[in-house]
Amino acid sequence: MKKLLALILALAMVLSLAAASAQTVELPRNETLYFAGQQWGTVNSWNIIGTNQNNAMAIAGGPSGYRTLMFETLYMYNFMDGSMTGLLADGDYVWNDAMTEVTVKIKDAAKWSDGTPVTAEDVKRTFDIGVEIGNGTGTGYKAYIAEIVADGKNLTIKAAVNEAGVPVNPLKVVDFLSGAPIAQAAWIDAVVARNNGDATAILNDAGEDVVWSGPYTKYYADDQKVVLVRDDNYWGQDASMWGKLPVPKYIAHAMYADNAAGEVALKAGEVDVCQQFIGNVQNLWLEDGLPISTYYEEAPYGVCLTMPTAWYNMNMPVLAENAALRKAIAMAVDYDTIIANAMTNQSPSFADVPRSLMNPTGGEQALYNQAEVAELQWAGSDIEGAKKLLDEAGIVDGDGDGWREYKGEKIALNAVCPNGWSDWQASMEVVAAAGEKIGVEITTLYPEYSIYQTVFTNPNQVEYAIFMWSPEAASPSNPWTRVNQFLGTEYVGVENNWSGNWGQYVNEEADALIKKIPVTTDAEELKALYTELTKIYLTEVPSFSLMYRPSVFHAVNESVWTNYPAGDDGRNIPPADCTDGYGIAALYELELVNP
Amino acid sequence: MKNTLRQIFHSPKFMTGFVIFVVILLTLFFYPLFNPGNPLEMIGVGTFAKPGTYVSLYDALNTSRETLRLSDADDNRLAKQLKAEDRVAMLEWFNAMGIAVDFDISDTDALLKLWDDNYDPATKPKGMTMAKRNYYKRLNNALLQLKAADEIVLADVNAETKALEETGKVNKTDYVNVGQVANVKLLPLGTDNFGRDVLKELVSATGTSIIIGLIAGAVATIIGLTFGLLAGYLGGIADDLIMFITNVFTVIPGFVLLILISYSIGQDQRGASVVALVIGLTSWTWTARSVRSQVISLRNRDHVNLSKLSGHSLFRIIMTDILPYIASYVVMAFILQVSSGILSEAQLSLLGLGPKTTEVPTLGLMMNWAMLYSAHTNGSWWAYFPVILTITLISFSLNLMNTGLDQVFNPTLRD
């Protein structure tokens, strides 16, 4: 009897397991656009005003614009030309003369998924609740926006002003227009009510009943994949917006164990759009003959918007007291090797785009006077120059052991980045090799990311001497935001600092210049300010960039879909994975290879 | 002793293993003499240069030339630029554009002429993917080179006028003798992800790994032997205690212990010798157990009892009356420990827990970097396969020697 019972139980278990595994959704391949490199792990929530959603396809403020598949922003940012295209907003935003107010009109056609119109009140409520409960929108913009005034479809954003009545940072107000996803006021009220107004509870609400305005909504999510389905009632098919629906019916993202798995899936044609770094990506088409392309056919294959940077830890006296040592190490590093090895040439070289505070896009490069700082720039591998600099500064090898000393002690530094981040690890190896050539001992150290992130965001850490992190890429407020990250004192001493100046570098002069920029509108004056800051940065060397790098990678496989954006197609759609900022325009133009 | 040695060197298994091992050791010794320098030097800018001989193009231009009129030169050039599948692809392009092809595609001249007349990189045949259009652009560029004149003009910038001035020409029939070019670099195994010479690195890494193996093997054998001898000979409480410790270590999987210890040491402390020590400290248990059982069978032999009656010290009894009887076994165990030490280093490094990377190359680290750079998926076999082969050869030779010795010392195994 017992045996029979056990047998039945075992059978039941096997059957239920089989049933569970059979539940996975099957999607028609030629209606589905598959992604890789965005979503790692199970989706936590769909709560647009919450935190910790881990929902990369639906809720993600990327460095190249907000991902507007499900939730929409007022404007879509295009990093190719810095333009802002109205999404929920109708026409351009208008500043008043003193730059204390910006007015925006909401499109008449804009509707929520429940059919109600999107109004200025929704924007106001989104901002207000953000400030109240402290979500990303609230903490990100409350210092720059005093209040939002709603009047039907008309919206006035009042910038925060200082004592003198000058706006704190109008650039950040513009960031809000393209960076803050708008939630429905009525839905926010419902969430607040069911959580009794408790901020923590609101932030952690799962938001399964969320109301959206974008062209896609949730369809399926588990620990294997997440799928969005097209909302065929999407308001954007109105002539005032896209005039049609996006082409793919489903947006799907399988959870891959690591980059290698995602790359294999891309090669096999199981992934259409891949946001992953792929070393020697050109071999995919040159040698393997696969139908895979990047935005540009030739190196650097994509649009580099940021520069992964090695930061010097100013908590260490030897680094803080010796600008010569900081500059010498930076001069000795062989950047060509880093770019060829770590980036497999998917970055312009520092000879092509000399180092400064700017990313390599034409718009930012034009913002400073290159001739004036040419003397200070270095392209790397300058061992003799670096040695000379150290000798002049009195940092010499006194005891003849081959290593230089400072105040009688051998200089021993480490170069640190997270384990498994292979391109950064390779860069740190090259930095260590440069140290050896100029007699400064640098050893590499690769802690696990979970440890790394707690140490480098700690303002008092003395464990990492040279460590890597990337500054901001592109947004309406850049390059100001990035310059502030490099030289501003705003983030010095901030606990759990994810915002900037991780090396804790303090320079009052630079700080004063940085504060002037947001309220400067005169182009010449702006250029002079940025040039001056670049001079300070290149003289003081509180950090040094190792390469240029796209903020999102964009490789597409044309086995199923085609007509992806490309550098020479004249459509001005940025390579933003068909999802971010104005990059989403690509979704409306995709075509099937075999219709 | 002499007789034993002769027996050993007559064992074909032992000899095979021994010869392989000696060849590896000799390579370690002699190769650096031919190819000196730092094995970690990054000579290549870029990742994974293919194995082969690299001739300096710059120097080749300045080397005296011979004119060779080779009848198949043009054909070779053509075959390199225009492969059979390219011809088929051209036909597809004509079809997509609705252009009639009324000749055989093996007719190169007709094909190229039609292509020349019609191809325009700006055209976008309906339904053609970006990848395919890019392919045609590349093909077109390759074909343009075919059509180029019989000579390439060399030019230099005039220091004064900054204008380009012709300084020479290279004809299609110009050849240089590789032996006369100033800089020719042979990279038998190409370069790795850092642009390092893989063969040079491999030789250096093999040396390091063998040293790691020897240290690990020595540490494991010494600990295991000491514990085994004491436990087996003393018996009683000492035996119980030592066997308790041994059992505890046996129960915990050695490799897990190894991972945990390596992780907790931290990378900045992990030199090659530290890793070797850690491997040795976690792999002594089976030596201890088997030595103990051998000693138990020895300790009641007559000569041991005689020694005891003669009042010899514990140390002397163990060293003169017991150790010599198990010496052959200990040597074999040591060989196996060396082999497994090398493997353990490779496994650890593959997980990113090996020695820190800037100082010395090891076999495991080479594999770790090859894996981090997806050498296995992008077809760069030279970055990892020779490493695997070397590890295999080392363990194979050591294990063969061990089996050979076993047959000599263990009469029951003799043929």
Write out pLDDT tens, residues A409-459: 999 999 999 887 777 888 998 999 999 999 999 988 888 887 888 899 999
Ranges of each domain in chain A: 65-204, 216-302+553-592, 304-550
Q: CA-to-CA distance for B411 and B390, rounded, in angstroms?
A: 32
Measured distance between the N- and C-terminal CA atoms of chain B, rounded to whole angstroms: 21
Q: Among residues 341-360 of chain B, which lie with CB inside 8 Å of chain A? A: 352, 356-358
CATH number attached to the domain at A304-550: 3.10.105.10
Q: Among residues 279-338 of chain B, which lie with CB inside 8 Å of chain A? A: none
- Across residues A187-193, what is the average pLDDT? 95
- Greater confidence, A1 or B185? B185
Strand A561-562 to strand A555-557: parallel, antiparallel, or no bridges (unpaired)?
unpaired
CA atoms within 13 A on the CB side of B328: 15
- Across residues A66-86, what is the average pLDDT? 92
B205-215 pLDDT, tens per residue?
Answer: 999 999 999 99
pLDDT of B351: 80
pLDDT of A77: 92
- Greater confidence, B357 or B269? B269
> Three-class SS of residue A51?
coil
Q: CA-to-CA distance for A530 and A536, rounded, in angstroms?
A: 10
pLDDT of A22: 46
pLDDT at A181 over 60: yes
Percentage, residues of chain B above pLDDT 90: 29
Q: Yes or no: say if B250 and B187 are a contact pair by the CB < 8 Å rule.
A: no
Determine which of B42, B88, B358, B371 to mutate to test the interface with A (most A C-beta atoms within 10 Å). Answer: B358
With an 8 Å Cβ cutoff, is A341 touching chain B?
Answer: yes
CATH number attached to the domain at A216-302+553-592: 3.40.190.10
pLDDT bin (cut points 50, 70, 90) of residue A293 is very high
Least confident of A28-32, A99-103, A387-391, B69-73: B69-73
Identify all chain B residues contacting A283, using CB atoms and an 8 Å cutoff: 378-379
Structure tokens at A339: 């770019």
- Across residues B70-75, what is the average pLDDT? 85
- Across residues A306-328, what is the average pLDDT? 94
Distance of CA A344 to the CA centre of its chain: 21
pLDDT of B268: 66
pLDDT at A564 over 90: yes
pLDDT bin (cut points 50, 70, 90) of residue A364 is confident
A448-503 pLDDT, tens per residue?
Answer: 887 888 899 999 999 999 999 999 888 888 899 999 999 999 889 888 888 899 99
pLDDT at B242 over 80: yes
pLDDT bin (cut points 50, 70, 90) of residue A288 is confident
Query: Could A422 and B48 be called an inter-chain contact, meaning their C-beta atoms sit closer than 8 Å?
Result: no
Query: Could B130 and A340 be called an inter-chain contact, meaning their C-beta atoms sit closer than 8 Å?
Result: no
Q: Yes or no: say if A27 and A250 are a contact pair by the CB < 8 Å rule.
A: yes
- Across residues B267-275, what is the average pLDDT? 77
Q: To the nearest whole angstrom, how far is the Cα of A341 from the nearest Cα of chain B? A: 5
Is 0.90 exceeded by the ipTM? no
B368-390 pLDDT, tens per residue?
Answer: 888 888 888 888 899 999 999 99
pLDDT at A20 over 80: no
Q: CA-to-CA distance for A112 and A233, rounded, in angstroms?
A: 10
Query: Could B129 and A430 be called an inter-chain contact, meaning their C-beta atoms sit closer than 8 Å?
Result: no
Q: Write the CA distances from A532 to A324, A357, A378, integer angstroms.
A: 20, 11, 17
pLDDT of B358: 64
B14-62 pLDDT, tens per residue?
Answer: 999 999 999 999 999 999 998 888 888 888 888 889 999 999 999 998 8
pLDDT of B357: 64
Determine which of A422, A547, A564 to mutate to test the interface with B (most B C-beta atoms within 10 Å). Answer: A422
Contacts of B287 (CB under 8 A, 6+ apart): B220, B221, B223, B224, B225, B228, B330, B333, B337
Going by C-alpha positions, the residue among B270, B366, B195 that lies closest to residue A447 is: B270
A218-261 pLDDT, tens per residue?
Answer: 999 988 889 999 999 999 999 999 999 999 999 999 988 888 88
pLDDT at A161 over 60: yes
Question: If you measure CA to CA, which chain B residue comes closest to A564?
Answer: B130
Q: Write the CA distances from B10 to A27, B2, B3, integer angstroms.
A: 68, 12, 11
Q: CA-to-CA distance for A428 and A433, rounded, in angstroms?
A: 9
Identify all chain B residues contacting A443, using CB atoms and an 8 Å cutoff: 268, 356, 358
- Across residues A139-162, what is the average pLDDT? 91
Structure tokens at B204: 């250096």
- Across residues A400-408, what is the average pLDDT? 90
> Three-class SS of residue B148?
coil
CATH number attached to the domain at B2-44+192-413: 1.10.3720.10
pLDDT of A145: 94
Look over chain A and give the mean of its residue pLDDT values, rounded to a whole number.
90
With an 8 Å Cβ cutoff, is A131 touching chain B?
Answer: no
Ranges of each domain in chain B: 2-44+192-413, 65-175
- Across residues B55-80, what is the average pLDDT? 88
- Indicate the fold that domain A65-204 takes in CATH: Dipeptide-binding Protein; domain 1 (3.90.76)
Percentage, residues of chain A above pLDDT 90: 63
Q: To the nearest whole angstrom, how far is the Cα of A430 from the nearest Cα of chain B? A: 9
Least confident of B172-186, B273-287, B354-368: B354-368
Percentage, residues of chain A above pLDDT 70: 96
Going by C-alpha positions, the residue among A346, A227, A333 that lies closest to residue A545 is: A333
pLDDT of A19: 53
Q: Among residues 153-212 of chain B, which lie with CB inside 8 Å of chain A? A: 193-195
Identify all chain A residues contacting B127, using CB atoms and an 8 Å cutoff: 562, 593
Least confident of A291-295, A518-522, B381-385: A518-522
pLDDT of A214: 95
pLDDT of A9: 67
pLDDT of A25: 67
Strand A412-416 to strand A405-406: parallel, antiparallel, or no bridges (unpaired)?
unpaired
